[in-house]
Structure formats: structure tokens, C-alpha cells
Structure 1
């Protein structure tokens, strides 16, 4: 079985070494009658405490004590003592300290008489009372014991003194514990404060080092004691301030070094710009100013003004760059416009808005106004638009005050003008898109149209020997006059004479072939834009009708063979051309609408809105030819006559024109 003498059983020899021994029972009793039967060897090998046997012994021992006197017969009762450790005393003192409502100084003077025990006790503070010894009560003594105490050895004064010593000792222990805890708290607080001060000291030390570095950089700038040229150059100053902004930004802002930059750079930049002529070299120093703009200009500042709170970059330009420009503009000839415009356009991206406005409004514009006042269109050889219009992108609406005197001088110059002089058109043409449409139309009506009307009145229409120069002088103004003004001019001063000559010719046995050529020749003198005007169409159609009536009625006596057919063919051809032109125009409009997509359906003005509403409600909306009220064209909206003025529709009443809403207009038209 693997047993080896001297070694225990089991795989790891953890079993017993000696074989099991037999033990002889004392008597003839059964198993367990004589107690534990384990052998000595068993107890050595397996030392197990039998808890049940121990409990049984303890129970039997206590069971026999219930009738015995603990002190023994005639003996004294053994006294019981209560012990308290220092830790328990400290814990109880802490609880008493938390629950106490008054301070120790106030409670120290309180005398407390304790009569809760067998004897009267006196305490001199509530804390002493709370820390008194809790001697366990033995219960009310028997009569024999009381008799014995009454006759025994009693020392109440000694007991009182001992109790007082105990209380004082406890108080000393508690006070010492409190002082120790206080000192520990002070140590912790001082350690925290020490760490905070050390951290602050490190921060202050770093700030001192950074400030010393900043001061070293600042001391490199020129001062009053330095001779000119000894300090750093403009580029070196820029690099120093870039380093300050990049590496020492907090110190840069805290110390307001931007103001120092202005004081340092201003004399250097002023010296550099002393000999600068902006009209000769507009890009001079442009790169330097751009570099200082990146350094000095505040990103949060959108506008400023010449005051004490001006941005450093703005102040630098105001004190250095503006004086140079002011001197340059004061000696500038406004008619030599190119260099000054180039200079302003070149510098505009670097200038704050208010400085650019100052240059344009306070420096350039007054010079232009004085030059316009001195301008004479009759004697000056340089056209005024050549030195005014280049300023349009910069000045824009600021040039409006110059336009009335310009129109006034042009009007005076046109008093003796004749349409044969084409120079007037060349002078006025550049102003067509500059003046407002109303101002331009009024200028044309006042100064040009009357001259053209006289020219048409002097025109002699002679089919056999026609002089076309006067008519060509008038038609040269087609792009300058509005279509309505030109149509009205031709209607009043040309077509009446032209139709009269046609009727006179038809009444004298004309050559219809020549008549047809004459008709087509005059029609070819009109542009497609004019031929598309309803009134022009009406006049040429009227001429065709007169010719048709002449050949149909045989007016004029002898009728050439084929004349009726030729006139009919001419009429059909002209009507077909009109129809084709209208169809092509409609197709172009449809393609334009399709190209614009959905946005084409949105009315662009009030007239388009009225047109849309008229189409939606099947109401005829069309202009009345050659009918106006206060210069506004009249329209028919159903059976109502209206005109539109600044987005308001007016309806003709019995005596006056009354404004109305669009819905009311639709209701009245229905």
C-alpha cells in the first residue's frame, strides 16, 4: 500500500506515522459513559478543541454558583472598578464639545451640584459633570451591609478629593488633546498656505522673467538720448513687436505696448514718407504700412474717429499718412485724374473706412467741386466726364452734388446748339447712365427735344429730291432719348407731314413702283425698336391703308397695270413682317421665361404685378397710345383708365385721380 516506516501515509506523507493505538475503557459502561476516550497520541496528532465539552463544563460550573455568596461566608464583597482609556476620554470629550451650546469660558464659572448618586457631588463646570466616572451601581445593599458601612471606615473628603483629582486630570488630558489637534490643524493650514505661496512665487518669478525680457526688448527702441540712426530700423521694430505679440501677448496687452509702437514707429515712418510723392509712386511704403496694420490694428474695431481712443494703427495713419495725402491733394490738378485714382485705389484696402471716407469727402470731393465750378463746356477741350467718371467706383453717390451744376452748365451751352453739331451728343452720351432716369429725361425734354422738333419741322419731304440730313440728325439721338419721347416727337413733327405728302402724291397719278420704293425707303430709316412701337406701326399701317384705298377707288385717274396687286402684295408683306416680328418677340420672351425658371413668375415691379393679376382675372391691361397724365403713361384696365406712380395705382374719377388698392381695382374692372 506504499507504507514506509517512519513516514506518514498519503501521497505527500501528510498522514499519521504510528499505527492507531487501542485504549481500554475503565469500566463496563457503554461508549461515552466515561467521557472522552481519545488517546494521547490522537490528541498530539489532531489537537482539536471540543467546543461542546468546554461549554458543558462552563455550564456546570455556573449552575453550581447560584446559591453561593460571592464574598464567601463572613468575607468581604470584591469591589468592581471602571477603567477608561485616553482615547475613550478624547472621544467623549469631542462629543461633549459638539453638543455644548456655550463656550468653555462661559461654562467654566458654573457650579453644578449632582444629587443623582448615593452621595452629593459638586462640579465646577458642565464638562466635569459630563466626564464623571460611571461607577457601576451594586444595587441597594442589604441591611447587614448598611449596618456594616455605618460602622465601617468612611472617608468622604478623601473620596471627594480623589474625584476632583480625577476630573482635573481628565480636563488636562482633554485640553492637551485639543491643543495637539489645534497644532496639527495649524500645521496642515500652514502647509497648504506654503504650497499656495510657493505656486504664486513661481508664477511671479516667471512673470518677472517675462517682464525683464519685454523690458530688454523695449530698451532697444530709440529714445531721446540716442542720436538719429542709432536705434533699430523700421523692419527691426516690426520684428520686435511681432515677437512681443507672439511670445508675450499678455504683457503686450497689459502694458499697452501698442501705444508705444505708435510713438516708436511714427518718427521712423514720418522720416521715410518725407520725400514721398503719391502721384509718382503710389506703391511706395505700401508693404511697410501693411505689415504694421497686421501688428497694430484691433480685429474687434470696425470703425473709429480722430479722438483720444483711436486705434493705434488708425492713429498712425492719421498722424503720418494723412498729412502727406493732404499736401498732395492740395497741389493736385483734378483734370489729371489717373495718378490720384490709382493711388487711392491702391491704398484703399489698407485704410480704415472712416479714413478712406475722409480722404474722399474732405480732400478729393472739394477739389472736384471747385474744378466743376471753374469748368466751361464751351471753352474747355477736355471733356468733363473724362476726369469725373473715373471717381464713380470710389465716390459713387457722393458725386450727386456735382451733377446739378454740370447739367446747368450743359444746358446753358446747348442754348445755341443745332442738331447738325454731333459734338453735343458725344459730350452727353457718357452721362446717360450716370444721371438718374428722371433727371436725364427732364434734361432731354428741356434741352434736346425742342431742338430736334424744330429740325423736323424744317424738314422738307420731297419724293423727287429728298434731303435726309435733318432726319438723320434726329435719328442719331435714338439711343439717347427714351422710346416714348422719340415716338412722340416723330408723331407730332414727322408723320403728319409724311402722310400729307403721301396723300398728295397719290392724288396726282403716281408711279406706284416708285411709291412703293419710297415707302420702303422711309421705313428702312427706322430701327426695329422703333418699328415695334405701337404708334409707329399704326402710322405705317395707316399709310398702307391710304395706298390700298387709293388703288381700290381709282383715285388719281389713270391706274398703272398691276398697281392694285403690287400695293396689296406690299400690304400683305408688311403685315406678315409685323406678325413674324411679334411671333419672334413672343418666342424670345418665352425662352427667357423658361431660362429664368420659377423666378420668372415673380413680378419685378408693380406694373408686372398688375399685368399678372389682369391675366389671372381675364382683364385687358394695355397702354393708351400717346396718352399721359403728369408725364405718367395711361393704361386701360378693363373699362377703367389708370396710371401708376411710385408703386401706387390711381383711378380716374369724376374730377380727380384717386389712389386705390389692387383688389379694389380688380373688383371695379369686373
Structure 2
């Protein structure tokens, strides 16, 4: 079956080839006036018979010919360029104004040039031997200074002529001539000539060697001179270092000698390890001064001044700032100061003597007395290695600041029940901010002094006594930034002010106590007028309208007293708030109520028919997790409204949680999904989405869907994985 199938396939191929050949024959014998389909298509595209292909006729004219190599022949056995190809290339070159040469023409010209060059080399005599020197004078000219022995010249036999003779003159020496046969004399002359040529070559080699030796001698002399200078400098340096080894040397003598050593050998400090000698000299003096030094009493300016003058020899000028590596924003090449594996002598001195002294000082330091320790740290900062400075701050000072911040409670009373302003963080914490490293001041970090201070301030606002201002509010405003500070007050303080006005303030014309209202006005300057005006509209004016209506409808109502009472209330409210349209409208509404009562009285009607004011606040103030809502466009000076997502983020920040977007949507509502978690890696926790002012959290089993939850301990426990 396979053989039969193969045969049919071969027959089909043969028939197909025969049909193709028939078509070609038919095309070749077609009438001259009739065009094939291909010719008609090419004519439509602009082709003309006898011209080249392409838009400008730059293509080939005739079909490409193929020249086959004989079977078994390799590349280069035959010239494979066809005449048609050469003609096309020649036509293109002529069209460009160039002359065409193929490889065969170039090879032919090259062979001709080589042949002519060989003929020129042979010369007229036809001899192939080249003579380098013809006479002894030529030899002496080629090798100036060469002394040829007379014995050698006198023993040279001239055997180049028809007869052999002894040379008495150098004329004609080494002149080549053809002799019919080489005799013994010819051999002697040839040997003498070769020896002379070898002697000349050796002479040239010696001359070149002489030049090299002279150059080497010059270099060695320079090295010897440099070594002599180094030896002399080393002797001077040793003398200067030995001069430091003086018993009972004081700071004045040490500074004089070290500064001279620093000045004389400023560029050789590292090569000669002068830092070790300098540190060894000042160590006893340094220890003696530190034993009697109380950093909180004096920052020891004398030591700072001495060490500043000795910066180069102590190795503190390797970088422009000894604390450069503490800054993550510096260029990488500036961090090489801390890439060394071992500490320098100066770093060991500071770490072993100065740092323990500061540790004991910080231990007994009162954190509320910031100025004393800040003075010391500021004075010594340019002289401290980066790792020593970081150790002092991160392990000694920052922990004490954090503990004091955690224990800060403005409700505590000291010194005869008066709050001490020195306990406020703005007096002892904020001055440290310029000295703290950047990672302690990163607002996006989950920890650090900056984040801890903001979190503590929010908690204080939630529990502070609103009857008195927190000390340093202006400093806190600068610390937060205006926008964040106002948003924080709106979230944490404004609801408490509203509750205080609602629960602790009553309007009583017979015995009016305006202390709660005065407590509210203490905070007025930290809110925009429109926000504070809405607080009054929500909590104060409903009570004012209710008491006014009750008084007007009572039998003992006196319009004269009511008018005076109305005017008095206008004097209580600050003029700035009265200019706010909403406050002005409320006072106008109260005045309208009084006028309506007068009208009823004039008409002889009962004042009991006076319409009662609307129940409840005319513009409610919502709870502590929201802000004031107004349907009208907010004025420019109003604080920006907060979304419910902002409120959840604030709640997460207060509870050390993270709100992470998942870049997914709830399949039912299309609301974006978030993850609330206490993990630093962003895993675990609970998945939530927001709908209105409600948090919907995913149930324990995902297939059970979501359920509404509040911002409470239950959600906190799930976020922490409990």
C-alpha cells in the first residue's frame, strides 16, 4: 500500500510539472499583441516594456538569471556572477554617474600593479640582492661614533673583480658584482662583510640600550630624591610626635603642638596615622575634664572648642558633616565615612568616654527641662560620629520623651491647683524636633515621635477640661499644619463643645449663668466663624427661642424687660459672630417673635396664640464622628468637609490600625473594598466597605457575605485577629 501510494504521488507530481511546462510554452507562443494577466497588472502600476522596475525605473530590466555550479564544486570554483547581473550593476552605476568595476576587473588591476612593483625592485641590473651599505664611509655615517678597527679594514680582500686583491682604500667596499664562480677569497670577503654588518647591528642595539638605561637612571634618581624627602619628613614628624610625649602636658601645650603637627602634615595624616597620636595625647586631658563635667550645668564649651580646632588631625574632615550618614537623602559617596568595619581612635574615644557620661546625665535629667540638654546636644552634634549621635537619641533621649508624652494629662493640677504650663509638650517636646532623625518625624510611619504626639493630642482633646484652653495650642497648630489642625478640632473637640452647650447650659432670665457659654467662647479663635456660628445655631438659639416664647406667653410678660433681655444677649455674643448671616438671621427671628407678640397685644388678642418655635435645634449638630452639614455652598474660610472614609481612617490611626485599599469592588454594590488590620505586613484583619455612614464588614465565613458594624471594640478585635 505504501509503495502504491508513493507511485501515485510521483505520477501526480509529474503530471503537474507537465501542465506547468505546457502553460509556459503557451505563454511563450502567445500572440504578440495579446498581454497576459500579469503584464496587464504591471502596466496598470506604471511599468513600461524595456524599462526597469520601480517608480523611477531604477530596478532590474531583465529577469534574474541563475548560474549553477558543477556538481561537487565548492564556493569560488566558478565565477557565479552572471552577465545579466553585471549589466544591471553597470547600468545602475552609469545612472548615478559612477564607474562600475566588478571583482574580476579589480583583481586583474591588482595583479598588474604587483607585477610592476616587482620589476621596479629588480632594477636595471636584474640582480635580486639588496646591499645595505656600499662603503665604509656609509657604514660610519649610519653608525656615528662607531670606531672600525684598522686591522679589520686592512684585512678585507676585494674578490669582486676578475682578480683577487687586498684593499688599501675603503672606496668600493661591499659593492656587489657578479663573478662567474665563488673562490676561497670570495668566501673570506663575504665572511668579513657579514661580520661587519653584525658588528654594526650590535652597535645599534647597544645605543638603544644606552638610552633605556639613561631613562631608568633618571627615574631612579627621582625616586631616590623623593625617598630622601619622605625620610626627612618622617624624621620631622617623629620629632613632632615625640615632643607630644611630655609628662604633665596641659591643654595649652597639647593644642599648640597638635595644631603645628596638623598644619605641617595636613596631607599625610592618614598615611602616617597621626590620628592615633593625637587621640593618645588628648585622652588623659579629655578624661580629666569629663570627670569634673556636669553637662546640665555647662555644655563644656572649652572641650568643644579644642576638638573643633583639631578636626583634621582627629579624622573629622573625611566628610563635610560627621552626621551625614544619619541622613537617608544624602548622596551615596558621602556615606563612605561609616562603611569602615572598625572605629577610628577618635570614635572610640567618644564612644568609650563621652557617651557613658551622657547616659548617666540623661538618666537623671528632667524631661521638662529641655533647654539644658538641648544646649549640650547642639554644641556637641558637629563633633559626634553618626552612630554615637543615633545611640544617644534613639536609646536615651527619645524613650524619655515618649514616656513623658504618654503620661501627659492636662487635667492634673499642680502647684496649688494651677496647671503648670511647663508640663505641656510644646515646651519640652517641640524644641527637640529639629534634632531628631527623619524616621522619627515621618508622618506616614506607624511609630515615631511625630505620630505619637499627634495621637496623644487627639486623645487629650477627647478628655480635656473644656473650661480652660490647652496650653500651647498655637504651637500645636504649627506642629499639625493649619488644615490638619482644624480637621482634628472638628472631629474631637467640636462635638464635645456642642454636648457641653446642650447639657450644661440653660437660659434663665431670673438667674442667668453664662459660664458654660463663656467656656465655649474660649475656643472661638481656633475655629472659623462660620463653624462656630453653626454651633450656636444648633445648640444656643433653640433654647433662646424657647425661653423667649415662654416669657412672651406668660401673664407677667413685660416687653420692656424682654427688650432689655434681648439687647443684653446680643451684647454677650461676639460682634464677629453676629456678622455671620446665620447668627444674624436667628437674632432677627427672635426680634420678629417679639414684634409679633406686640402686634397681638395691640390687636387685643391673647398672646397664647403666638406660634411656638420649631422643636429641637433648627440645624442639628451631628455626633462626634461627623461634622456640621450645610446644604449651602461653604464659604472660602470654612474648614473642608470630611468624608466618612476620613473618619474611619482617623479611627484606625487612633487604634494603631491600618486601612488598606484592596483594589477590588463589592460584587453587589460596586463599593471599593478595604482591609482594616493591625499587622505591619498588611495581612489578616477584616475586609470592609463603606455605604453611607455605615461600615460593612465581611463575616467570619466569606460565603456568608457582609454585615453592618460600628467603630467599636468588636471591629477592633477582629482587625487585631482576636
> TM-score band, normalised by the shorter chain?
0.5 to 0.7
Is the alpha carbon distance of 1:454 and 1:340 closer, same or farther for their aligned partners in structure 2, counting shifts above 3 Å?
same
Asked which structure has the greater CA Rg, the reply is 1
Deviations 1:26-81 (A, max 9, x none): xxxxxxxxxxxxxxxxxxxxxxxxxxxxxxxxxxxxxxxxxxxxxxxxxxxxxxxx
Q: What are the within-5 Å matches in structure 2 for residues 250-289 of structure 1?
A: 250-284=267-301, 285-289=303-307
Q: 2-side partners of 1:521 and 1:637: how far apart?
A: 30
Is the alpha carbon distance of 1:356 and 1:465 closer, same or farther for their aligned partners in structure 2, counting shifts above 3 Å?
same
Deviations 1:523-549 (A, max 9, x none): 222224423444323312322333454
Corresponding position: 1:160 with 2:193? no
Is the alpha carbon distance of 1:221 and 1:478 closer, same or farther for their aligned partners in structure 2, counting shifts above 3 Å?
same
Instruction: Give how far 1:328 is off.
Output: 0.9
Instruction: Give how far 1:482 is off.
Output: 6.5
Matched with 2:469 is: 425
Instruction: Give how far 1:203 is off.
Output: 1.1
Matched with 2:356 is: 323
Q: 2-side partners of 1:494 and 1:656: how far apart?
A: 41
Corresponding position: 1:86 with 2:136? yes
C-alpha RMSD of matched pairs (Å): 4.7
Which of the numbers 392, 401, 412 marks the counterpart of 2:452?
Answer: 401
Check whether the contact 1:279–1:340 (CA below 8 A) recurs between aligned residues.
yes
Is the alpha carbon distance of 1:270 and 1:205 closer, same or farther for their aligned partners in structure 2, counting shifts above 3 Å?
same
Q: 2-side partners of 1:329 and 1:367: how far apart?
A: 9
Q: 2-side partners of 1:215 and 1:646: how far apart?
A: 76
Q: What are the within-5 Å matches in structure 2 for residues 121-132 of structure 1?
A: none
Check whether the contact 1:220–1:231 (CA below 8 A) recurs between aligned residues.
no
Q: 2-side partners of 1:517 and 1:656: how far apart?
A: 58
Deviations 1:159-188 (A, max 9, x none): 823333332332333233233333333332
Which of the numbers 201, 207, 221 marks the counterpart of 1:178?
Answer: 201
Check whether the contact 2:369–2:428 (CA below 8 A) recurs between aligned residues.
no
Which of the numbers 381, 389, 395 marks the counterpart of 1:362?
Answer: 395
Matched with 1:210 is: 233
Check whether the contact 2:524–2:532 (CA below 8 A) recurs between aligned residues.
yes
Is the alpha carbon distance of 1:347 and 1:221 closer, same or farther for their aligned partners in structure 2, counting shifts above 3 Å?
same
Q: 1-side partners of 2:374 and 2:538: how far apart?
A: 47
Deviations 1:460-511 (A, max 9, x none): 331x664444433443343466656644543343211211233344456966
Which of the numbers 527, 543, 547 marks the counterpart of 1:501?
Answer: 547
Q: 1-side partners of 2:184 and 2:589: how far apart?
A: 150
Is the alpha carbon distance of 1:196 and 1:354 closer, same or farther for their aligned partners in structure 2, counting shifts above 3 Å?
closer
Which of the numbers 495, 502, 512 marks the counterpart of 1:453?
Answer: 502
Instruction: Give how far 1:276 is off.
Output: 0.3
Instruction: Give how far 1:277 is off.
Output: 0.3
Check whether the contact 2:143–2:203 (CA below 8 A) recurs between aligned residues.
no
Matched with 2:366 is: 333
Which of the numbers 295, 306, 309 marks the counterpart of 1:291?
Answer: 309
Instruction: Give how far 1:86 is off.
Output: 0.4
Q: What are the within-5 Å matches in structure 2 for residues 167-246 of structure 1?
A: 167-222=190-245, 230=247, 232-246=249-263
Question: TM-score, structure 2 length as denominator?
Answer: 0.51
Check whether the contact 1:453–1:489 (CA below 8 A) recurs between aligned residues.
no
Q: 2-side partners of 1:378 and 1:173: how far apart?
A: 117
Task: Answer 1 or 2: higher relative contact order, Cα 8 Å, separation at least 6.
Answer: 2
Q: 1-side partners of 2:670 and 2:139: how far apart?
A: 110
| Equivalent position SS for 2:226 | helix
Matched with 2:420 is: 383
Q: 2-side partners of 1:311 and 1:440: how far apart?
A: 51
Instruction: Give how far 1:348 is off.
Output: 4.0
Check whether the contact 1:329–1:363 (CA below 8 A) recurs between aligned residues.
yes
Is the alpha carbon distance of 1:354 and 1:548 closer, same or farther for their aligned partners in structure 2, counting shifts above 3 Å?
farther
Matched with 1:392 is: 430
Q: 1-side partners of 2:237 and 2:399: how far apart?
A: 47
Is the alpha carbon distance of 1:465 and 1:327 closer, same or farther for their aligned partners in structure 2, counting shifts above 3 Å?
closer
Q: 2-side partners of 1:549 and 1:657: how far apart?
A: 54
| Equivalent position SS for 1:303 | helix
Check whether the contact 2:552–2:597 (CA below 8 A) recurs between aligned residues.
yes
Q: 1-side partners of 2:501 and 2:272: how far apart?
A: 75
Q: 2-side partners of 1:440 and 1:315: how far apart?
A: 50
Q: 1-side partners of 2:600 and 2:399: how far apart?
A: 71
Q: 1-side partners of 2:405 and 2:641: how far apart?
A: 39
Matched with 1:524 is: 571
**What is the count of residue pairs matched by the alignment?**
437
Check whether the contact 1:341–1:390 (CA below 8 A) recurs between aligned residues.
no
Instruction: Give how far 1:271 is off.
Output: 2.2
Matched with 2:96 is: none
Is the alpha carbon distance of 1:86 and 1:332 closer, same or farther for their aligned partners in structure 2, counting shifts above 3 Å?
same
Check whether the contact 1:306–1:315 (CA below 8 A) recurs between aligned residues.
no
Question: TM-score, structure 1 length as denominator?
Answer: 0.54
Q: 1-side partners of 2:574 and 2:385: how far apart?
A: 51
| Equivalent position SS for 2:294 | coil
Q: 2-side partners of 1:466 and 1:506: how far apart?
A: 18
Q: 1-side partners of 2:340 and 2:203: how far apart?
A: 67
Q: 2-side partners of 1:432 and 1:91: how far apart?
A: 99
Matched with 2:704 is: none
Which of the numbers 529, 539, 543 marks the counterpart of 2:586?
Answer: 539
Deviations 1:234-256 (A, max 9, x none): 44444444444433234322233
| Equivalent position SS for 1:631 | coil
Matched with 2:83 is: none
Check whether the contact 2:262–2:312 (CA below 8 A) recurs between aligned residues.
no
Q: 2-side partners of 1:237 and 1:327: how far apart?
A: 29
Matched with 1:491 is: 537
Corresponding position: 1:342 with 2:375? yes
Unaligned 5+ segments in structure 2 are 1-132, 145-159, 165-172, 327-337, 435-440, 442-448, 605-617, 634-639, 647-667, 673-722
